[in-house]
Amino acid sequence: MSIESTENTVLRCLQDNYALSGSLERLAGENLNYLLTMEGARYVVKIVDDDMPAEVVEMEFAAIEHAVAAGFPVNLPKIIQNIFGNIETGINIHIKGSYRLRVISFIQGTVLEYLPDISDILTRNVGISLARYHLTMQDFDHPAAHRNHRWNLARAGQHRDKINLLDDSGKKDLMLWSFDAWEEVKDSLERLPWQFIHGDMNRENILVEGDRVTGLVDFGDACFNPVVCDLAICLTYMMMDRDDPMEAMATVMDGYLGVRSLSSAERDVLLPLVCGRLATSIAVSTERRKIDPDNPNWFGGEDSAFALLRTIKDLRSP
């Protein structure tokens, strides 16, 4: 008896639990996500294993509902309840065991990561949108947000031991420097403003039309953190692969500060936090490469991350 394909199992689950049917297309990225295309409608189908606590999904649902109700001007992915009124549905697929499925509204727009060029106007608007998001969410909280995960920038030091997985001595030295830069400011983070943050403001999660930011997706790394960590994460990816990373940083900051102010203490930790995010990204990618070198969705961008770290180090060196 043949094992039912993952796609067929997902389609059957969607029909039985959401009364939805159409064609599936696997989406890029490290997670098991699909685009469901129907006549006149599209949805994103996300599948997570049981390592993802159900309360984290409930947190995402509540956070998006809060932002929409508060009038956040950028489109957010709405979680669609199944016919039984639940925001997740159990599904058994043959990859390794038990999973949960959820259906999310599709947001129209171009993924920022796919743009060949990013204008100064759009770069500034990214900063504006992030600042507006922070103001919108400043009075939101959820018990599940008070957690640690691998991408928690306030805990970047948890990846320091992965430096030894690198074979290149020069890259090891650069990683050591970047973690040291983060270590210099980590204790001061406790004294800075904390709130619910998005946690993964990279270019793959920002949707645009022309020079406007039209969508913000993927709240899977959201947590309660220093607000400045969210800005540092955004800056990291807006600075990568740019002809002048510091100019890109200044442009994002110009937009952000036009909406929400930062204390001098918050500004002082930004570049060290960018170093911490870059080091975390390289560390996680390196570990994943050792585990499964043939998985293209598990790693990438290390060269760009090292290049930006070298630029920052040169600027900060006496």
What total number of domains does the chain contain? 2
Tell me, what CATH number does 304's domain have? 3.90.1200.10
Dist CA 103 CA 14 (whole Å): 9
In terms of phi and psi (left: phi > 0; alpha: psi -120 to 50; beta: otherwise), the region of 85 is left
**Shared domain check, 124 and 36:** no
Q: Provide the residue range defining the domain that includes 85.
A: 6-105
The per-residue pLDDT for 290 is: 73
In a domain, residue 285? The reply is yes
**Shared domain check, 227 and 135:** yes
- Element housing 234 (H / E): helix 227-239
**Of 105, 127, 156, which closes a domain?**
105
The per-residue pLDDT for 291 is: 67
**Shared domain check, 116 and 94:** no
In a domain, residue 42? The reply is yes
**Shared domain check, 45 and 131:** no
The per-residue pLDDT for 3 is: 44
Distances (CA, A) of 247 to 116, 235, 304: 18, 11, 17
Tell me, what CATH number does 71's domain have? 3.30.200.20
Q: What's the alpha-carbon Rg for the chain, to the nearest Å?
A: 20
**Shared domain check, 233 and 132:** yes
Model confidence over 170-187: pLDDT tens digits? 999 999 999 999 999 999
Model confidence over 278-309: pLDDT tens digits? 999 999 988 887 766 665 555 567 889 999 99
Average pLDDT over the chain, rounded to an integer: 92
**Shared domain check, 222 and 140:** yes
Whether 142 and 62 have beta carbons less than 8 Å apart is answered as yes
- Mean pLDDT comparison of 7-11, 31-35, 259-263, highest-scoring range: 259-263
**Shared domain check, 178 and 152:** yes
In a domain, residue 1? The reply is no
Dist CA 60 CA 123 (whole Å): 26
The per-residue pLDDT for 92 is: 83
**Shared domain check, 115 and 98:** no
**Of 70, 105, 140, which closes a domain?**
105
Closest-CA residue to 197 (of 257, 246, 154): 154
The per-residue pLDDT for 1 is: 32
Model confidence over 141-170: pLDDT tens digits? 999 999 999 999 999 999 999 999 999 999
Whether 185 and 153 have beta carbons less than 8 Å apart is answered as no
**Shared domain check, 283 and 239:** yes
Model confidence over 65-82: pLDDT tens digits? 999 999 999 999 999 999
Instruction: Tell me the mean pLDDT in the region 107-117.
Output: 93
Binned at pLDDT 50, 70 and 90, residue 259 comes out as: very high
**Shared domain check, 232 and 121:** yes
**Of 86, 105, 124, which closes a domain?**
105
Among 202-211, 242-251, 295-304, the minimum mean pLDDT is found in: 295-304
Long-range contacts for 254-258 (Cβ within 8 Å, ≥24 apart)?
254/124, 254/127, 255/123, 255/124, 255/125, 255/126, 255/127, 255/128, 255/131, 256/127, 256/128, 256/130, 256/131, 256/231, 257/127, 257/131, 258/127, 258/128, 258/131
In a domain, residue 214? The reply is yes
**Shared domain check, 296 and 211:** yes
The per-residue pLDDT for 302 is: 87
The per-residue pLDDT for 292 is: 64
At residue 311, does pLDDT exceed 70?
Answer: yes
**Shared domain check, 121 and 65:** no
Distances (CA, A) of 241 to 115, 277, 301: 12, 15, 10
